[in-house]
Amino acid sequence: MKKNITDFKLKNQRVIVRCDLNVPIKDGVILDDTRIKACLETIEHLVSAKAKVIILSHLGRVKEEKDKETNSLRPVADKLSELIGRPVKFVPYTRGMEVENAINSMEPRDIVMLENTRFEDLNGNKESGNDSELAHYWASLGDIFINDAFGTIHRAHASNVGIAKLLPSGIGFLVKNEIEKISSALNNPERPLVIMLGGAKVSDKIGVINNAVKIADYVLIGGGMPYTFYKALGYNVGLSIVDDSSLEFCRNIYSQYKNKILLPEDIVVASSISEGASTRITTYADIGSNEVGIDIGMATISRYKSILMNANTIIWNGPIGMFEIAKFSQGTRKVVEILSSSKAKIVVGGGDTISALNKFGFNNKRAHISTGGGATLEMLEGKELPGLSAISDK
Ligand code: ADP
Ligand code: MG
């Protein structure tokens, strides 16, 4: 068992908390503050326990000097201050005198946020390369380290793995909840366990499919992925998305797990990828050379529905069709409706999948909606998470 935030005496301690405050920002305005709200519980706990709270986070990618202009955490510090109802002192540096002075003058319950950890990537990729000098420097600023950034827990960076190895460390409430919910669905599911996978590319999800066929009772395939399977099985898929590097994989896994892997029987094909395109429903064996598969058909929806309604655990990643275009969104919308009324234990992960949930009014209070797309996928692959492994054991 990993230590968590409740295992520490926090009073008067300088607690470095790694959050995932990587929110979308345009022209200095935060477009979606979900991720800031998601770490409030941990920050509020630290404040009420009278800790000195030092927040680290990344924001976007910082590859060249000009990326700094659009990737400052300052608007995030302001937003956090508004949400938590306390001052959040923003220090526009990742190291140096200003940082040290701000921390040395902290009182218990104060909150300080440093600048985007990835500014250190301009300094020889120190953050993303888990540089030891940087990790030692940051660790020297605190007494305890709490990792509450689920979104980067599958990465070994200086601000999560590096610091965790140098200080007494634990996970925050957000990470604890994510790990518990996803692990229990994967490792100890109430059966039947149904894993539904969609999205665009098979190659992104080979590891997930490989693990899914081992642990699930059914693996439902949708989105852009069926076409690589169909092509591998010898059918013409027209202009549908195909991942040629995964043909061999699809052929093998399908022949081995035919009884578990379900492919759409009927699909919606379009003359082009646009709202004005003409569409028709057809079988996988009848896709025209100038047609593109963009959604699952009604027969497939009802087949998947009966499997989903019978499931006691459902894990979903990847939209079932090109839901961004209204005309191609029926399959994904139906799936969202089915999951809204499901009594199963549900875990949903993936940035686009969560956009689909929001777009189609997902309404199921008991479902677990993960804050980390990449981290969830790695858990679905059965991989170890470096950010978690680095945390002290109880
Ligand atoms: P997530 O972010 O939830 O992990 P992905 O990034 O893997 O999901 O995939 C999302 C994308 O898959 C969406 O942009 C969607 O339009 C696309 N997609 C869904 N169905 C198809 C299809 N039939 N052909 C091509 N792309 C598709
Ligand atoms: Mg995506």
Last-in-domain residue among 110, 145, 176: 176
2 pLDDT higher than 90: yes
Q: What is the CATH number of the domain that holds 328?
A: 3.40.50.1260
For ligand 1, mutation pick of 240, 322, 325 (most atoms within 8 Å of CB): 322
Residues 123 and 213 placed together within one structural domain of the fold:
no
Burial class of 261 by CB neighbour count within 10 A (0 to 12, 13 to 18, 19+)? buried
Q: Is residue 392 part of a domain?
A: no
Q: Does the beta carbon of 293 lie inside 6 Å of ligand 1?
A: yes
265: left (phi over 0), alpha (psi -120 to 50) or beta: alpha
Distance 200 CA to ligand 1 centre (A): 4
Q: What DSSP string describes 201-234? A: -SGGGHHHHHHHHHH-SEEEE-TTTHHHHHHHTT
- How far is the centre of ligand 2, averaged over its atoms, from the C-alpha of 330 (Å)? 19
CB of 243 sitting under 6 A from ligand 1: no
Helix H or strand E segment including 89: strand 89-91
- List the catalytic residue out of 28, 96, 288, 351: 351
Do 300 and 158 share a structural domain?
no
Distance CA 194, CA 215 (A): 9
pTM for this entry: 0.94
Residue 118 bears catalytic tag? no
Please, which residues have CB within 8 angstroms of residue 362's CB and are 6 or more apart in sequence? 336, 339, 340
* 64 and 198 part of one domain: no
3: CB partners within 8 A, 6+ apart: 168, 169, 170, 171, 391, 392, 393, 394
Ligand 1 atom nearest to CA at 240: 24
Residue-range definition of the domain harbouring residue 166: 5-176
Residues 152-193 pLDDT 10s? 999 999 999 999 999 999 999 999 999 999 999 999 999 999
Q: What is d(CA 118, CA 130) in angstroms, rounded to the nearest whole number? A: 11
- Please tell me the distance from the alpha carbon of residue 72 to that of residue 65, in angstroms, as a whole number: 12
Task: Using a pLDDT cut of 70, give the percent of the chain over it.
Answer: 100
Nearest in space to 38 (alpha carbons), one of 336, 370, 360: 370
Cα–chain center distance at 295: 23
**pLDDT tens sequence across 35-47:** 999 999 999 999 9
**Is the peptide bond preceding residue 192 cis, with omega within 30 degrees of 0?**
yes
- Checking if the pLDDT of 64 tops 90, the result is yes
Closest listed ligand to the CA of 293: 1
Would the CB of 208 count as within 6 Å of ligand 1?
no
Q: Are residues 24 and 167 in the same domain?
A: yes
Helices (H), 242-390: 247-256, 298-310, 330-340, 351-359, 373-380, 386-389
Point out the domain boundary residue: 118, 153, 176. Answer: 176
Answer whether 118's CB lies under 8 Å from 59's CB.
yes
In testing the pocket of ligand 1, which one of 203, 209, 269, 352 has its CB within 8 Å of the most ligand atoms?
Answer: 352
Q: Is 353 in the pocket of ligand 1 (CB under 6 A)?
A: yes
Q: Is 200 in the pocket of ligand 1 (CB under 6 A)?
A: yes
User: DSSP 3-state assignment of 170?
Assistant: strand
State mean pLDDT over 201-213: 93
Query: Could you tell me if 157 and 231 lie in one domain?
Result: no
Q: Are 155 and 43 in the same domain?
A: yes
Residue 391 inside a domain? The answer is no
Say yes or no: 17 and 82 in one domain.
Answer: yes
- Please work out whether the CB of residue 291 comes within 6 Å of at least one atom of ligand 1: no
Mean pLDDT value across the chain: 97
Distance 353 CA to ligand 1 centre (A): 8
Q: Are residues 167 and 200 in the same domain?
A: no
**321 & 375 share domain:** yes
What one-character-per-residue DSSP string does 300-321 give?
Answer: HHHHHHHHHHH-SEEEEES-SS
Total structural domains within the chain: 2
C-beta of residue 321 within 8 angstroms of C-beta of residue 329: yes
318 lines ligand 1 (CB under 6 A): yes
Q: Which of 118, 142, 176 is the last residue of a domain?
A: 176
Task: Render pLDDT for 275-311 as a digit per residue (tens, 0 to 9).
Answer: 999 999 999 999 999 999 999 999 999 999 999 999 9
Per-residue pLDDT for 201 more than 90?
A: no
Ligand having the closest approach to the CA of 350: 1
Q: Hunting for tokens 């996928």 — which residue is that?
A: 377
State the catalytic residue, choosing from 35, 52, 176, 333: 35
For 212-255, the pLDDT digits (tens) are 999 999 999 999 999 999 999 999 999 999 999 999 999 999 99
The CA–CA distances, whole Å, from 383 to 271, 281, 318, 328, 387 equal: 40, 38, 19, 33, 12
Say whether both 168 and 220 belong to one domain: no
Q: Is there a domain that residue 49 lies in?
A: yes
User: Is residue 182 domain-resident?
Assistant: no
What is the number of other CB atoms lying within 10 angstroms of the CB of residue 234? 8
Residues 261 and 293 in one domain: yes
35 carries an active-site annotation: yes
Whether residue 142 has its Cβ less than 6 Å from ligand 1: no
Ligand closest to CA 296: 1
